[in-house]
Amino acid sequence: MIQTIASPPSVEGLASPRLLTLGNVALFLDLDGTLAPIEASPGKVGPDPERTALLGRLQLWLGGALAVLSGRSVDEVDRILGGVVACVSGGHGRERRSPTGERVDFRPDPSLPTVAAMLESFVAAQRGLLLERKAGSLALHYRGHPPAAEACLDIAHRLARAHNLDIIEGRMVVELLTPGPNKGDALGIFMQEAAFAGRRPVMVGDDLTDESAFEAAAALGGFGVLVGEPRETAARNRLANPQAVLTWLAGSMQ
């Protein structure tokens, strides 16, 4: 249930952001951990009609200056958000759909199938691990077995070095990716589109993978909002959880 209140709930650490003045803001939102709670496995995250309706209204209020920047594919973002957001970057910046619907996707690195086979053998030998295959990356999740974190990070870094892949560490996950742009790069590209140009960028995200977008927003005169527990971050403000994010967004449209 999305509650609409005058201001977001306060949290410890960084101050909660003020309600947005939507007439001069370009808004960038992560998905998992920001718009939707983290689940035990990525496939368990599904559509929510109330969230979809809120995002649809928000896109109108912003005049189209709304984009989702996710580690998921563009198609997965559409599945979860009902395709309501026109501008989406997937694969941590390696996929992008423009306001006109044009898709720009990096071709997957040819070494990914070989790396996937190695990681599948590694996962099969340990309990509670999950290998998520994406179009241009491989995500090794250890949420189901946290003690395996060190081993997961070790094999991921070794394979990334051996096959010249990019690597990012997230919340209970490490991902090997086709070399390419990051979320900060995607934010910068969207800011050149007519609907976004001249506005103040605000990035909302929860994970280390969102830090490049926090930095890009700040460099363009905007700011970042961290979702979740306090940590070292380039964000200026913080909200407690996805429900607080939805409350804040709904309140900004009052």
Cα 136 to chain centroid distance, Å, stands at: 16
Cα 216 to chain centroid distance, Å, stands at: 14
Element (H, E) at 237: strand 237-239
- Going residue by residue through the chain, which has 254 residues, state the pLDDT in tens, using 9 for 90 and above: 333 333 344 445 689 999 999 999 999 999 999 999 988 778 889 999 999 999 999 999 999 999 999 999 999 999 999 999 999 999 999 999 999 999 989 889 999 999 999 999 999 998 899 999 988 899 999 999 999 999 999 999 999 999 999 999 988 999 999 999 999 999 999 999 999 999 999 999 999 999 999 999 999 999 999 999 999 999 999 999 999 999 999 999 98
In whole angstroms, what is the distance from residue 65 CA to residue 87 CA? 8
β pairing state of 166-170 and 173-177: antiparallel
Q: Report the candidate in 94, 96, 120 with the shortest Cα–Cα distance to residue 109.
A: 94
Domains, the chain, with CATH or none: 22-106+181-252 (3.40.50.1000), 112-177 (3.30.70.1020)
Known catalytic residues?
Answer: 30
Q: Report the candidate in 86, 66, 51 with the shortest Cα–Cα distance to residue 202.
A: 66
What is this structure's pTM? Answer: 0.88
Q: Report the candidate in 133, 149, 226, 139 with the shortest Cα–Cα distance to residue 174.
A: 139
